[in-house]
Protein backbone atom coordinates (compact mmCIF):
# COMPACT_ATOMS: atom_id res chain seq x y z
CA UNK A 1 0.00 0.00 0.00
CA UNK A 2 2.89 2.36 -0.87
CA UNK A 3 1.38 5.78 -1.61
CA UNK A 4 3.48 8.69 -2.83
CA UNK A 5 1.36 11.81 -2.44
CA UNK A 6 1.60 15.48 -1.50
CA UNK A 7 1.54 14.57 2.21
CA UNK A 8 3.67 11.43 2.25
CA UNK A 9 5.68 11.44 5.50
CA UNK A 10 3.36 13.91 7.25
CA UNK A 11 1.40 13.01 10.36
CA UNK A 12 -2.06 14.64 10.44
CA UNK A 13 -4.34 14.70 13.50
CA UNK A 14 -8.00 15.25 12.59
CA UNK A 15 -10.72 15.71 15.22
CA UNK A 16 -14.33 14.71 14.53
CA UNK A 17 -13.09 12.51 11.71
CA UNK A 18 -15.55 9.64 12.11
CA UNK A 19 -18.14 11.05 9.71
CA UNK A 20 -19.15 14.10 7.66
CA UNK A 21 -16.60 16.69 6.59
CA UNK A 22 -13.90 15.38 8.98
CA UNK A 23 -14.14 11.88 7.49
CA UNK A 24 -13.82 13.30 3.96
CA UNK A 25 -10.76 15.34 5.04
CA UNK A 26 -9.24 12.13 6.45
CA UNK A 27 -9.91 10.29 3.19
CA UNK A 28 -8.36 13.11 1.19
CA UNK A 29 -5.18 13.20 3.31
CA UNK A 30 -4.96 9.38 3.14
CA UNK A 31 -5.16 9.50 -0.66
CA UNK A 32 -2.26 11.97 -0.54
CA UNK A 33 -0.11 9.58 1.50
CA UNK A 34 -0.40 11.10 5.01
CA UNK A 35 -0.20 9.16 8.26
CA UNK A 36 -3.51 9.72 10.07
CA UNK A 37 -4.50 10.09 13.70
CA UNK A 38 -8.25 10.45 13.97
CA UNK A 39 -10.04 11.53 17.14
CA UNK A 40 -13.78 11.19 17.80
CA UNK A 41 -16.18 10.66 20.72
CA UNK A 42 -18.43 8.20 18.90
CA UNK A 43 -16.72 4.80 19.28
CA UNK A 44 -18.93 2.96 16.81
CA UNK A 45 -18.46 5.57 14.06
CA UNK A 46 -14.76 5.76 14.85
CA UNK A 47 -14.34 1.98 14.37
CA UNK A 48 -16.23 2.12 11.10
CA UNK A 49 -14.22 5.10 9.82
CA UNK A 50 -10.93 3.42 10.79
CA UNK A 51 -11.87 0.28 8.84
CA UNK A 52 -12.85 2.35 5.79
CA UNK A 53 -9.64 4.40 5.90
CA UNK A 54 -7.54 1.24 6.15
CA UNK A 55 -8.48 0.48 2.55
CA UNK A 56 -6.51 3.62 1.62
CA UNK A 57 -3.66 3.52 4.14
CA UNK A 58 -2.34 1.24 6.86
CA UNK A 59 -1.17 4.32 8.76
CA UNK A 60 -4.38 5.21 10.58
CA UNK A 61 -4.55 5.51 14.36
CA UNK A 62 -7.94 6.03 16.04
CA UNK A 63 -8.31 7.84 19.38
CA UNK A 64 -11.53 7.75 21.32
CA UNK A 65 -11.72 11.18 22.98
CA UNK A 66 -14.15 14.02 23.61
CA UNK A 67 -12.45 17.28 22.58
CA UNK A 68 -14.13 19.08 25.48
CA UNK A 69 -12.42 16.76 27.99
CA UNK A 70 -8.90 18.09 28.56
CA UNK A 71 -7.45 14.94 30.11
CA UNK A 72 -8.77 12.75 27.25
CA UNK A 73 -7.33 15.23 24.75
CA UNK A 74 -3.93 15.24 26.49
CA UNK A 75 -3.79 11.43 26.59
CA UNK A 76 -4.77 11.08 22.92
CA UNK A 77 -2.34 13.74 21.70
CA UNK A 78 0.52 12.27 23.78
CA UNK A 79 -0.18 8.81 22.31
CA UNK A 80 -0.27 10.19 18.75
CA UNK A 81 2.97 12.15 19.33
CA UNK A 82 4.66 8.95 20.51
CA UNK A 83 3.98 7.28 17.17
CA UNK A 84 5.31 10.24 15.19
CA UNK A 85 5.38 13.98 15.79
CA UNK A 86 2.20 15.70 14.57
CA UNK A 87 2.87 17.99 11.61
CA UNK A 88 -0.68 19.09 10.86
CA UNK A 89 -3.71 19.58 13.12
CA UNK A 90 -7.19 19.72 11.63
CA UNK A 91 -9.52 20.99 14.38
CA UNK A 92 -12.86 19.95 12.89
CA UNK A 93 -15.03 18.42 15.66
CA UNK A 94 -18.23 20.32 16.29
CA UNK A 95 -21.94 20.06 16.97
CA UNK A 96 -24.96 22.16 16.03
CA UNK A 97 -28.63 22.33 16.87
CA UNK A 98 -31.30 24.98 16.65
CA UNK A 99 -32.74 26.80 19.69
CA UNK A 100 -34.41 30.23 19.67
CA UNK A 101 -32.33 32.72 21.65
CA UNK A 102 -34.95 33.23 24.38
CA UNK A 103 -35.14 29.47 24.98
CA UNK A 104 -31.45 28.54 25.12
CA UNK A 105 -30.77 27.09 28.57
CA UNK A 106 -27.46 26.91 30.39
CA UNK A 107 -26.94 23.25 29.45
CA UNK A 108 -27.41 23.86 25.72
CA UNK A 109 -25.25 26.98 25.74
CA UNK A 110 -22.43 25.16 27.55
CA UNK A 111 -22.72 22.04 25.37
CA UNK A 112 -22.10 23.95 22.14
CA UNK A 113 -19.47 26.33 23.51
CA UNK A 114 -17.64 23.52 25.34
CA UNK A 115 -17.25 21.42 22.19
CA UNK A 116 -16.99 23.96 19.37
CA UNK A 117 -14.82 26.56 21.09
CA UNK A 118 -13.30 25.24 24.32
CA UNK A 119 -12.67 21.85 22.70
CA UNK A 120 -10.94 23.53 19.76
CA UNK A 121 -8.78 25.48 22.23
CA UNK A 122 -7.91 22.35 24.28
CA UNK A 123 -6.78 20.39 21.21
CA UNK A 124 -4.99 23.35 19.61
CA UNK A 125 -3.06 24.30 22.74
CA UNK A 126 -2.10 20.70 23.54
CA UNK A 127 -0.80 20.03 20.02
CA UNK A 128 0.82 23.46 19.58
CA UNK A 129 2.88 23.00 22.75
CA UNK A 130 4.58 20.07 20.97
CA UNK A 131 4.83 21.99 17.67
CA UNK A 132 6.31 25.02 19.45
CA UNK A 133 9.22 22.93 20.77
CA UNK A 134 9.99 21.80 17.22
CA UNK A 135 9.32 25.26 15.72
CA UNK A 136 7.21 23.70 12.99
CA UNK A 137 3.52 23.04 12.44
CA UNK A 138 0.28 23.87 10.70
CA UNK A 139 -3.20 24.18 12.19
CA UNK A 140 -6.43 24.46 10.21
CA UNK A 141 -9.53 25.17 12.27
CA UNK A 142 -13.15 24.58 11.28
CA UNK A 143 -15.11 27.83 11.29
CA UNK A 144 -18.44 28.45 9.59
CA UNK A 145 -20.18 31.20 7.67
CA UNK A 146 -22.25 31.40 10.90
CA UNK A 147 -19.20 32.86 12.61
CA UNK A 148 -19.33 35.80 10.19
CA UNK A 149 -23.05 36.40 9.66
CA UNK A 150 -25.73 35.35 12.13
CA UNK A 151 -28.27 32.64 11.28
CA UNK A 152 -31.43 33.01 13.35
CA UNK A 153 -32.12 30.18 15.78
CA UNK A 154 -28.42 29.49 16.28
CA UNK A 155 -27.12 32.11 18.75
CA UNK A 156 -25.04 29.52 20.65
CA UNK A 157 -23.58 28.00 17.48
CA UNK A 158 -22.97 31.39 15.81
CA UNK A 159 -21.15 32.63 18.93
CA UNK A 160 -19.00 29.48 19.07
CA UNK A 161 -17.92 29.85 15.43
CA UNK A 162 -17.24 33.59 15.76
CA UNK A 163 -15.01 32.62 18.69
CA UNK A 164 -13.27 29.99 16.57
CA UNK A 165 -12.40 32.60 13.95
CA UNK A 166 -10.86 35.02 16.46
CA UNK A 167 -9.09 32.15 18.22
CA UNK A 168 -7.57 31.29 14.83
CA UNK A 169 -6.35 34.83 14.25
CA UNK A 170 -4.92 35.18 17.77
CA UNK A 171 -3.11 31.86 17.50
CA UNK A 172 -1.68 32.97 14.13
CA UNK A 173 -0.29 36.17 15.67
CA UNK A 174 1.24 34.44 18.69
CA UNK A 175 2.65 31.40 16.89
CA UNK A 176 3.97 32.81 13.59
CA UNK A 177 7.44 33.41 15.09
CA UNK A 178 7.50 29.73 16.08
CA UNK A 179 6.92 28.74 12.43
CA UNK A 180 3.37 27.56 13.14
CA UNK A 181 0.70 28.71 10.70
CA UNK A 182 -2.97 28.85 11.73
CA UNK A 183 -5.91 29.38 9.38
CA UNK A 184 -9.59 28.47 9.23
CA UNK A 185 -12.13 27.30 6.67
CA UNK A 186 -15.68 28.70 6.88
CA UNK A 187 -18.15 26.51 4.99
CA UNK A 188 -21.69 27.47 4.18
CA UNK A 189 -24.49 24.92 3.98
CA UNK A 190 -22.95 21.46 3.45
CA UNK A 191 -24.89 18.18 3.14
CA UNK A 192 -23.59 15.99 5.97
CA UNK A 193 -25.15 13.71 8.60
CA UNK A 194 -25.20 16.79 10.90
CA UNK A 195 -27.27 18.93 8.53
CA UNK A 196 -29.56 16.00 7.71
CA UNK A 197 -30.20 15.41 11.44
CA UNK A 198 -31.08 19.08 12.04
CA UNK A 199 -33.12 19.98 8.99
CA UNK A 200 -36.63 18.72 8.21
CA UNK A 201 -37.41 17.18 4.78
CA UNK A 202 -37.57 19.83 2.05
CA UNK A 203 -35.51 22.33 4.06
CA UNK A 204 -32.40 22.06 1.89
CA UNK A 205 -34.25 22.71 -1.38
CA UNK A 206 -35.95 25.82 0.04
CA UNK A 207 -32.75 27.09 1.66
CA UNK A 208 -30.78 26.68 -1.56
CA UNK A 209 -33.48 28.39 -3.63
CA UNK A 210 -33.70 31.33 -1.24
CA UNK A 211 -30.11 31.91 -0.20
CA UNK A 212 -27.39 30.19 -2.26
CA UNK A 213 -26.46 31.95 -5.52
CA UNK A 214 -24.77 28.81 -6.89
CA UNK A 215 -28.11 27.00 -6.53
CA UNK A 216 -26.89 23.93 -4.70
CA UNK A 217 -25.90 22.76 -1.24
CA UNK A 218 -22.21 22.16 -0.67
CA UNK A 219 -20.76 18.64 -0.59
CA UNK A 220 -18.00 17.40 1.72
CA UNK A 221 -15.72 17.18 -1.33
CA UNK A 222 -16.14 20.94 -1.86
CA UNK A 223 -14.55 21.56 1.55
CA UNK A 224 -11.76 19.01 2.07
CA UNK A 225 -9.42 20.42 -0.65
CA UNK A 226 -9.32 23.74 1.22
CA UNK A 227 -7.97 22.02 4.33
CA UNK A 228 -5.25 20.36 2.24
CA UNK A 229 -4.43 23.69 0.60
CA UNK A 230 -4.10 25.47 3.96
CA UNK A 231 -2.08 22.56 5.39
CA UNK A 232 0.30 22.35 2.44
CA UNK A 233 3.26 24.11 0.87
CA UNK A 234 1.16 26.19 -1.55
CA UNK A 235 -0.08 28.28 1.42
CA UNK A 236 3.31 28.65 3.12
CA UNK A 237 3.00 32.47 3.44
CA UNK A 238 -0.65 32.44 4.59
CA UNK A 239 -1.54 32.66 8.27
CA UNK A 240 -4.41 34.16 10.28
CA UNK A 241 -6.80 33.90 7.34
CA UNK A 242 -10.19 32.37 6.72
CA UNK A 243 -11.46 30.88 3.47
CA UNK A 244 -15.23 31.05 2.99
CA UNK A 245 -16.78 28.31 0.83
CA UNK A 246 -20.52 28.94 0.75
CA UNK A 247 -21.68 28.99 -2.88
CA UNK A 248 -21.83 32.79 -2.69
CA UNK A 249 -24.23 33.07 0.25
CA UNK A 250 -22.29 35.75 2.13
CA UNK A 251 -21.54 37.76 -1.02
CA UNK A 252 -24.87 39.57 -0.69
CA UNK A 253 -28.58 39.03 -1.07
CA UNK A 254 -29.41 36.37 -3.68
CA UNK A 255 -31.26 38.00 -6.59
CA UNK A 256 -34.76 36.70 -7.34
CA UNK A 257 -35.18 34.58 -10.51
CA UNK A 258 -37.15 37.28 -12.39
CA UNK A 259 -34.44 39.86 -11.67
CA UNK A 260 -31.75 37.47 -12.92
CA UNK A 261 -33.72 36.88 -16.14
CA UNK A 262 -33.98 40.65 -16.66
CA UNK A 263 -30.20 41.05 -16.29
CA UNK A 264 -29.29 37.93 -18.27
CA UNK A 265 -32.15 37.28 -20.71
CA UNK A 266 -32.02 33.92 -22.53
P1 LIG B 1 -21.09 15.66 11.61
O2 LIG B 1 -22.00 15.65 12.79
O3 LIG B 1 -21.54 14.96 10.39
O4 LIG B 1 -19.64 15.14 12.04
C5 LIG B 1 -19.03 15.65 13.20
C6 LIG B 1 -18.09 14.61 13.78
O7 LIG B 1 -17.49 15.20 14.96
C8 LIG B 1 -18.81 13.34 14.24
O9 LIG B 1 -18.05 12.22 13.87
C10 LIG B 1 -18.91 13.50 15.75
O11 LIG B 1 -18.95 12.27 16.45
C12 LIG B 1 -17.62 14.29 16.04
N13 LIG B 1 -17.70 15.06 17.29
C14 LIG B 1 -18.67 15.91 17.68
N15 LIG B 1 -18.42 16.37 18.91
C16 LIG B 1 -17.25 15.81 19.31
C17 LIG B 1 -16.47 15.88 20.51
N18 LIG B 1 -16.88 16.59 21.57
N19 LIG B 1 -15.31 15.20 20.56
C20 LIG B 1 -14.90 14.43 19.52
N21 LIG B 1 -15.62 14.30 18.38
C22 LIG B 1 -16.77 14.98 18.27
O23 LIG B 1 -20.82 17.22 11.30
P24 LIG B 1 -20.25 17.96 10.00
O25 LIG B 1 -21.40 18.60 9.30
O26 LIG B 1 -19.29 17.10 9.27
O27 LIG B 1 -19.46 19.15 10.74
C28 LIG B 1 -18.07 19.10 10.99
C29 LIG B 1 -17.62 20.49 11.36
O30 LIG B 1 -17.94 21.40 10.28
C31 LIG B 1 -18.29 21.07 12.60
O32 LIG B 1 -17.35 21.83 13.34
C33 LIG B 1 -19.36 21.99 12.03
O34 LIG B 1 -19.71 23.02 12.90
C35 LIG B 1 -18.65 22.50 10.79
N36 LIG B 1 -19.54 23.03 9.76
C37 LIG B 1 -20.52 22.24 9.21
C38 LIG B 1 -21.36 22.79 8.24
C39 LIG B 1 -22.47 21.98 7.60
O40 LIG B 1 -23.32 22.58 6.90
N41 LIG B 1 -22.51 20.68 7.75
C42 LIG B 1 -21.21 24.12 7.86
C43 LIG B 1 -20.20 24.88 8.44
C44 LIG B 1 -19.37 24.33 9.40
Question: Residue 58's pLDDT is what?
Answer: 80
Q: Say how many domains are in the chain.
A: 1
- Would you say residue 154 lies in a domain? yes
Sequence-separated (6 or more) residues with CB below 8 Å from residue 184: 140, 141, 142, 143, 164, 165, 168, 241, 242, 243
Q: Is the CB of 95 under 6 A from ligand 1?
A: yes
What confidence score (pLDDT) does residue 215 get? 96
Per the structure, the complete domain to which residue 182 belongs is given by: 11-263
DSSP characters for 110-150?
Answer: HHHHIIIIIIHHHHHHHHHHHHHHHT-EEEEEE--GGGTS-
Residue-wise pLDDT for 63-75, tens only, equals 999 999 999 999 9
**Residue 252 covered by a domain:** yes
Q: With a 6 A CB cut-off, is 142 part of the ligand 1 pocket?
A: yes
192 lines ligand 1 (CB under 6 A): yes
Predicted local confidence at residue 57, as pLDDT: 83
Confirm whether 1 is domain-assigned: no
pLDDT at position 2 is 55
| H helix runs in 14-154, sequence order | 20-31, 43-53, 70-83, 106-113, 120-134
Q: So which residues are the catalytic ones?
A: 157
Give the chain's largest Cα–Cα span.
62
Best residue among 13, 17, 19, 21 to mutate for probing ligand 1, ranked by most atoms within 8 Å of CB: 21
Residue 90 lies in a domain: yes
Residue 108 forms part of a structural domain = yes
- Cα distance between residue 25 and residue 29, in whole Å: 6
45 C-beta closer than 6 A to ligand 1: yes
Work out the angle between the directed axes of helices 20-31 and 43-53 (0-180°, nearest 10).
20
Entry pTM: 0.97
- CA nearest neighbour of 143 among 81, 202, 187: 187
Q: What share of the chain is helix, strand, coil (3-state, %, to 5)?
A: 50, 15, 35
Inside any domain, residue 177:
yes
The answer to the question of residue 73 being in a domain is: yes
pLDDT < 50 positions in the chain:
none
Cα dist from 193 to 96, 105, 238, whole Å: 11, 25, 31
- Which domain CATH number covers 166? 3.40.50.720
Q: Say how many Å lie between the CA of residue 79 and the centre of ligand 1.
A: 23
Asked if residue 80 is part of any domain, the answer here is: yes
Amino acid sequence: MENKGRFTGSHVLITGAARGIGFEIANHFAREGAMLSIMDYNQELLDRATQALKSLTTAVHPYYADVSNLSMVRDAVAAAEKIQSIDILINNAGIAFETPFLQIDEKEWKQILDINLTGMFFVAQTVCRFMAKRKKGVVVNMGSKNGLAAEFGYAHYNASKAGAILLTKTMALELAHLNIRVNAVCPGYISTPMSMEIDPPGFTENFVKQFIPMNRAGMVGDISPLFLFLAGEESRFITGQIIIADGGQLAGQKPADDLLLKINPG
